[in-house]
């Protein structure tokens, strides 16, 4: 079984370490610009900690299609934002300057989400060792978050 075939496992240690360092270093840089109308590559996932009850805002790469939103899962299904989204049944995402409610997070193979990503983006995901993405259904606007 390859590291990308199991969404509960992060990428290989070498790639996972580099990705994690990039995420840590890039977080402060991407957080202020994520979710803005002029930077549609990034959105901000708003989620609540399963145990702490604390509110979090996590910048992520997002791809919107007519029937849902896809978020690459570089660190596997064990990542806190994904586990929080599953526990809550969904999240609120700020994308293009607007809030959207998303429900029913499901991990899917990157290949099955290929239509959501451009050829270049799909190639970058493959090179980064990201084999899975989270698919969210559009949710109800009246949910509280």
Please write the tens of the pLDDT for every residue from 10-56. 444 434 455 554 454 455 555 555 555 545 668 889 999 999 999 99
Sorted by sequence, the CB contacts under 8 Å of residue 143 that are 6+ apart come out as 90, 92, 101
Q: Specify the DSSP element, H or E, that contains 122.
A: helix 119-127
Closest of 69, 73, 75 to residue 93, by C-alpha: 69
With a cut of 60, say whether residue 131 has pLDDT above it: yes
Closest of 108, 81, 95 to residue 40, by C-alpha: 95
* Cα(140)–Cα(67) distance, integer angstroms: 14
Q: Domains in the chain and their CATH numbers?
A: 3-31+42-138 (2.30.110.10)
Please write the tens of the pLDDT for every residue from 54-106. 999 888 888 888 778 999 998 888 889 999 999 999 999 998 889 999 999 99
* Cα(32)–Cα(88) distance, integer angstroms: 25
Residue length of the chain:
145
């Amino acid at each position: 079984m390859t590291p990308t075939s199991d969404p509960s496992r992060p990428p290989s240690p070498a790639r996972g370490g580099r990705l994690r360092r990039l995420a840590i270093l890039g977080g402060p840089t991407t957080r202020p610009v994520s979710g803005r109308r002029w930077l549609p590559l990034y959105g901000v996932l708003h989620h609540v900690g399963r145990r702490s009850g604390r509110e979090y805002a996590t910048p992520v790469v997002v791809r919107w299609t007519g029937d849902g939103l896809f978020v690459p899962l570089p660190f596997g299904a064990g990542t806190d934002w994904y586990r929080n989204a599953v526990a809550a049944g969904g999240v609120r995402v700020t994308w293009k300057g607007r809030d959207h409610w998303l429900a029913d997070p499901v991990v899917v193979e990157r290949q099955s989400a290929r239509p959501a990503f451009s050829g270049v983006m799909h190639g970058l995901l493959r090179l980064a060792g990201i084999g899975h993405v989270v698919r969210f259904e559009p949710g109800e606007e009246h949910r509280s978050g």
